[in-house]
Amino acid sequence: MMNVLELHQVRKTFGSHDVLKGVDFCVPAHSILGFIGQNGAGKTTTMKLILGLLPKDAGEIQVCQETVSFGNTKANRHIGYLSDVPAFYDYLTPYEYLQLCASITHMSSADCKRKSEELLTLTGLWQSRKKRIATFSRGMKQRLGIAQALLNEPDLLIADEPTSALDPIGRKDILSILTQIKDHTTIIFSTHILSDVERVCDSYAILHDGIIQRHGSMQSIKEKASNRMQLEFMNPESMQHFLSKTQFSTKICTDTELQITHDNMSQLQSKLHQELLQQKLSLRRMEIVEPTLESLYMEVVK
């Protein structure tokens, strides 16, 4: 499958601060990449570099196999962009606003009418097409932002934290739209809401300390064999007694909880039962720790 976006060893420095220290990742066609990182990690800087709005210090960025250069916006004909707080002319209606955007890109009247109707229906704004944008809620404006970003049928949609300030219903609406459109466009979904990534994304990239620390498919997290067992003892003394006798590789979580790592889970369970019986110890809880995006993220950012 062709990659719509590729970044190779991209670097960016502001003054003495190295924001990006060699960023590498790619996004296959018709997929959603969850672009994750703490506030200030450099996600927005990366997206501005992809859009050609900032000069990079080193590396290469390609969109649809076309090299992105600062100030040269040829590659942007492949890209739609949704900011976290899209701005509009509030005195216009959504239909008028899309007509304005279409005229700027020299879209024909027939194509403008067809796409506007299609996108206002997709985003659930058709019934509000004659209302002034000034009357719209934050969620409605975000949906109009998606309609505008998709107007020219881009190969790549960059969505910069589109759900960060929305209520649960507004977030659900935006995530539903992103899921629907991935058959027609490829999406970078920048966010720090990990549950949103798990709901709609096909892959993830975690940006931390200026580089991509983890990059893979969401399916790979689910398929990863869990090799950790969480034990909760009845009291701190029981756990200390267990630790003094055991040969397992352990990680202490609290004064009564620990995790044990082992390559073979069934073998681990069998050995654990034997050892607990021998030491005459009881547990309050014992469970397999399933790998999640949150646990992977927390490992990266400590």
DSSP-assigned letters across all residues of the chain? --EEEEEEEEEEEETTEEEEEEEEEEEETT-EEEEE--TTSSHHHHHHHHTTSS--SEEEEEETTEE-BTTBGGGGGGEEEE-SS----TTS-HHHHHHHHHHHTT--HHHHHHHHHHHHHHTT-GGGTTS-GGG--HHHHHHHHHHHHTTT--SEEEEESTTTT--HHHHHHHHHHHHHHTTTSEEEEEES-HHHHHHH-SEEEEEETTEEEEEEEHHHHHHSPP-EEEEEESSHHHHHHHHHH--SEEEE-SSSEEEEE-S-HHHHHHHHHHHHHHHT--EEEEEE----HHHHHHHHH-
Between 151 and 221, name the one with better pLDDT: 151
- Residue-wise burial string across 117-155, b where 16 or more C-beta atoms lie within 10 A, e elsewhere: eebbebbebeebeeeebeebeebbbbbbbbbbbbbbebb
The residue range of the domain holding 216 is 3-89+153-222
Q: For residue 270, tell me if it sits in a domain.
A: yes
Please give the Cα distance from 174 to 142 (Å, whole number). Answer: 8
Q: For residue 129, tell me if it sits in a domain.
A: no
The domain tally of the chain equals: 2
Kindly report the CATH number assigned to the domain that includes residue 271: 3.30.70
Please give the Cα distance from 301 to 99 (Å, whole number). Answer: 44
Q: For residue 147, tell me if it sits in a domain.
A: no
- Asked if residue 278 and residue 161 are part of one domain, the reply reads no
Between 223 and 160, name the one with better pLDDT: 160
- Asked if residue 264 and residue 163 are part of one domain, the reply reads no
Model-wide pTM > 0.75: yes
DSSP-assigned letters across all residues of 249-262? EEEE-SSSEEEEE-
Kindly report the CATH number assigned to the domain that includes residue 37: 3.40.50.300
pLDDT tens-place string over residues 246-289: 888 888 889 999 888 777 777 888 888 888 888 888 899 888 87
Tokens of 66: 């076309």
- Asked if residue 256 and residue 164 are part of one domain, the reply reads no
Q: For residue 104, tell me if it sits in a domain.
A: no
Please give the Cα distance from 138 to 157 (Å, whole number). Answer: 20
- Asked if residue 187 and residue 172 are part of one domain, the reply reads yes
Q: Assign 223 a pLDDT band (cuts: 50, 70, 90).
A: low
Q: For residue 201, tell me if it sits in a domain.
A: yes
Q: Assign 229 a pLDDT band (cuts: 50, 70, 90).
A: confident
pLDDT tens-place string over residues 78-110: 999 998 888 999 999 999 999 999 998 889 989
Please give the Cα distance from 95 to 146 (Å, whole number). Answer: 13
Q: For residue 97, tell me if it sits in a domain.
A: no
Tokens of 118: 């299609």
Main-chain dihedrals φ then ψ at residue 119, nearest 5 degrees: -75, -35
Mean pLDDT along residues 108-133 = 93
Q: What is the pLDDT of residue 224?
A: 61
Is 96 within 8 Å of 46 (Cβ atoms)?
A: no
- Asked if residue 60 and residue 8 are part of one domain, the reply reads yes
Q: What is the pLDDT of residue 154?
A: 94
Burial of 207 (0-12, 13-18, 19+ CB in 10 A): buried
Q: For residue 245, tell me if it sits in a domain.
A: yes
Is residue 227 over pLDDT 80? no
Q: What is the pLDDT of residue 8?
A: 96
The lowest-confidence range among 3-7, 94-98, 146-150, 159-163 is 159-163
Q: For residue 132, tell me if it sits in a domain.
A: no
For the chain, give the mean pLDDT. Answer: 90
Q: Are strands 211-217 and 3-14 parallel, antiparallel or unpaired?
A: unpaired
